[in-house]
Structure 1
Amino acid sequence: MPTVLITGASRGLGLEFARQYRADGWEVIATCRNPSTAPALAATGAEVHALDVTDDAALKALGRTLSGRALDVLINNAGVYPLKSPQGSFGDVPVDAWMEALRTNVVAPWKVAETFIDNLTKAERPVLATISSKMGSIADAAAPGSVVYRSSKTAVNMVVKALALDLGPRGVICLSFHPGWVLTDMGGPNALITPEQSITGLRRLIARATPADNGRFLAYDGQEVPW
């Protein structure tokens, strides 16, 4: 039975990943900060662990708990959008929110990869998928605003590229994904696609990934996203 580890799985995209993989018979290991407040995740039948991805000690502890288990897929999904409205305009960007975004959206995916690299290399065709955003595309940026979130997603794309260079020779396929503008708490009510549509597309890309895809930045529909 293949195994997937999903961070930030209490709701939204992470929860939909857990639902779909469980429905297909996968062993799902899911993490969230507070499992007691995530009944929908428990209902999927996933193996749930408490984890704040910014807590280095907790991450190392989970690494010890899962030691020796092969991971076919690791999904770096945990993330934050710390400023809802306004998103911080020039001259009024709070430093604490920016640091929170960088620690959660940029540093944590790298540390998660470090923690579970031995688990990944036990699998035959391991995939390390990181949920980024088209909002992190420098080439696509055409309007001001949202610098906190945008910069964190630009930075995590470099993290994924660096992981691809480090881990590609070890057989790990590292991918950065734009999930689309999704109807979730983070995406808001004006979003264009459902979690089901987004995750169905992302899972298809994960399933088809080959070493030739290592280091790519792809949208849920398979289109290349410009860096």
Structure 2
Amino acid sequence: MQPRLLITGANRGIGLALVKHYLDDGWHVDACCRDISQAHELLALVNTSPQQLQIHPLDVTDHAAIMALSHTLADTPLDLLINNAGYYGPKGYGFGHTDIDEWRKVFEVNTIAPLKIAEAFYPQLKQAQQGIIASISSKVGSMTENTSGGGYIYRSSKAALNSVVKSLSNDLLPQGILSVALHPGWVQTEMGGPNALIDTQTSALGLKKVLDNLTPSQSGQFYNFDGTSIPW
């Protein structure tokens, strides 16, 4: 049977690159993004892979929409769920200038949404031979790696996401569902900026390799795109 992937934030950057690589590898991809009308590159892929790619409108903070999509795909085994959609929030602020409303928004997208999506698509992951929940985290969420301070909003959202990943692994591994946190590297995207060290293709290929070779013993861990382990 053709393996199947559901991915959020699929219209640009790392998400779009991952969609392309999984299509090239023969997967069926359910690609989610907020505004399909603006997802020009993703729409173009439908023309070249009409049997492999389905695009779904999804705001990951809309829990009713998440459940509606799960209902639509109720009888679809999912081999892989990639929580890729993310939001950085404000930049350049320092201690004493944290925007509370933005903090809540970042947590909604980066931490709460991945768990609610995992909960919603748990039945589909159970239908697969070995389901995987992969959440795109960031090295800045590592306590060990935090030697510079600052970045309170984004850092805390990814540290919290890492905790979600660890709990998911503890809860779901006995049922054959793996959960892993992944650092994509510093990537040349809208979020990463033009000075980043790697392009989206390098990141996506590395992430896919990690997931292709993931074993149950690696569930609940935190990995760089090159396969090296990152300390919590």
TM-score (norm 1): 0.97
Deviation, structure 1 residue 31: 0.3
* Aligned 8 A contact 1:3 1:28 in 2: yes
Deviation, structure 1 residue 144: 2.4
Partner of 2:45: 44
Deviation, structure 1 residue 44: 2.1
Aligned residues: percent identity?
46
User: How large is the RMSD of aligned CA atoms in angstroms?
Assistant: 0.8
Runs in 1 of length 4+ with deviation above 3 angstroms? none
Alignment of 1:1-227 (within 5 A): 1-45=2-46, 46-83=53-90, 85-86=91-92, 88-227=93-232
Q: What per-residue deviation string (whole Å, max 9, x for no partner) do you get for residues 47-88 of structure 1?
A: 0000011101111111111111011110000110111x31x2
Q: In 2, Cα distance between the equivalents of 1:138 and 1:56?
A: 30
Q: In 1, Cα distance between the equivalents of 2:190 and 2:122?
A: 31
**Structure 1, unaligned runs of 5 or more:** none
* Aligned 8 A contact 1:52 1:58 in 2: yes
* Aligned 8 A contact 1:22 1:44 in 2: no
Q: In 2, Cα distance between the equivalents of 1:150 and 1:121?
A: 31
Deviation, structure 1 residue 24: 1.4
* Aligned 8 A contact 1:177 1:220 in 2: yes
**Structure 2, unaligned runs of 5 or more:** 47-52
Letter in 1 for 2:44: A
Q: What per-residue deviation string (whole Å, max 9, x for no partner) do you get for residues 132-153 of structure 1?
A: 0001001110112211001000
Q: In 2, Cα distance between the equivalents of 1:100 and 1:129?
A: 21
SS of equivalent to 2:148:
coil
